[in-house]
Structure 1
Amino acid sequence: MSEITATTKSDSGSAPPAPMNFKVAHSVDNFNIPLQDLMESHEHVTDIAVGACVFDSDGRVLLVQRAAKDSLPFLWEVPGGGCEFEDETVLHSVARELGEESGLCAQRIGDELGVLDLFTTRTPGRLVRKYTFIVEVEGYDVRLNPAEHKAYLWVSEDEARAKRCGNVEIVYTSKGQEEVILKAFEKRKAQA
């Protein structure tokens, strides 16, 4: 599979953003566009969110537990969040959110998992479409932002399906989040 390398540009006259260099699989070229361009194809959607399924060297996926004072407190999800118009592309949003939420640096953004994940927010009239990607990272030293997440786990497929890792019960943020995590395991096995 051939790939391209994405880098963050800086506007002249402003401080350059933190370096964000990562490879992009051609299978996600349609997301290597500005958020505004993607929004044009989503008639009733008001926001786009992204998620990152990260696997460690033992084939376990990273889950993060939402903080007590955040929406959906104590529930589990993959790192991710809202795309911002300031991000160069939707894929830059994936890398930025992964870094902000886990401290991990994206090396390669691979396949989008193709699970329809639509949800509303606490703000009336907001409909969010979430896209989740398999992301390869540089190292596995997770550093959480305590304002957003209180804990993390690396879970196997069996643990994800059982919704239990050791003595920790895993309650996902949504059925869609659970489906995307299980789809990530399936996709990873198919590519092995």
Structure 2
Amino acid sequence: MPRDLPPNLSTPTIPPSLAHHSITLADWSTTYPKYAKLIVGALIFRCSAPSYPPQILLVKRASTDSYPNFWETPGGSVDASDKTLLDAVVREVWEETGLRVKNFVQQVWDANEGAIDVRFWWCKLNFFVEVEEGEVRLDVEEHQDWGWFERGEVEGLGFVSKQEVEIVMNGFKAFEAGR
């Protein structure tokens, strides 16, 4: 069940390199008509001290949902009601974790795509974001567990695809490059 956005949700900082994603789903779909569905993902990291290894926030899909029991980054479908693609990231992070995005850092991976069948292609855009401090709160209809994981722990988890693991690993590289 989607959670309402908090009334005082502030607009996160968006670097110039991501300004082209401040468009509506309709505008994006006109540019990329091949795709029937656009999905966004958020890579959220923490590092308790400069000498400690970074950790990424992952959520485990509910056993009753599609792709049950797999780990993933928070994210989901861009809705026609989202003002922009980046607003969809903010909404999905809030709905799935209860956390508020404060900064967009960069896009991680150009895009990954797939097809359910030859008539239904999807595309996923992944973003490295920073969030305000807060407690993770899951929507139990979508996710059953969450955790902070170091790079070496990620490959042992079950993901929907090998490409998802590569995206997470690229996220670690992006995070470490900005430290």
1:32 deviation in Å?
Answer: 1.0
Match of 2:8 among 15, 19, 35: 19
2: CA distance, partners of 1:88 / 1:133: 17
1:120 deviation in Å?
Answer: 3.2
Aligned AA for 1:128?
W
2: CA distance, partners of 1:171 / 1:132: 19
Could you say what secondary structure the match of 1:88 adopts?
A: coil
Aligned equivalent of 1:185: 172
1:124 deviation in Å?
Answer: 7.8
Could you say what secondary structure the match of 1:153 adopts?
A: strand
1:52–1:135: 8 Å Cα contact kept in structure 2? Answer: yes
Aligned equivalent of 2:71: 76
| 1:137-181, Cα deviation, whole Å (9 max, x unpaired) | 011411000000000010011212x42xxxxxx101222211110
Aligned length: 169
Aligned equivalent of 2:105: 110
Aligned equivalent of 1:5: none
2: CA distance, partners of 1:156 / 1:32: 31
| 1:76-100, Cα deviation, whole Å (9 max, x unpaired) | 0000000011111000000000000
Match of 2:150 among 127, 150, 156: 156
Aligned AA for 2:13?
K
User: Do the aligned partners of residues 152 and 17 (structure 1) sit closer, same or farther apart at CA in structure 2, a change above 3 Å counting?
Assistant: closer
Across the aligned residues of Structure 1 and Structure 2, the Cα RMSD in angstroms comes to 1.8
Question: Are 1:142 and 2:136 counterparts?
Answer: yes
| 1:79-135, Cα deviation, whole Å (9 max, x unpaired) | 0000011111000000000000011110011201124311234x8832110001011
User: Do the aligned partners of residues 104 and 114 (structure 1) sit closer, same or farther apart at CA in structure 2, a change above 3 Å counting?
Assistant: same
Q: Percent identity?
A: 30
TM-score where L is the length of structure 1: 0.82
Could you say what secondary structure the match of 1:110 adopts?
A: strand
TM-score where L is the length of structure 2: 0.88
Aligned AA for 2:130?
E
Could you say what secondary structure the match of 1:127 adopts?
A: strand
Instruction: Structure 1: state its 5+ residue gaps.
Output: 1-15, 164-169
Question: Are 1:55 and 2:55 counterparts?
Answer: no
Instruction: Structure 2: state its 5+ residue gaps.
Output: 49-53
Aligned equivalent of 1:133: 127
2: CA distance, partners of 1:188 / 1:56: 9
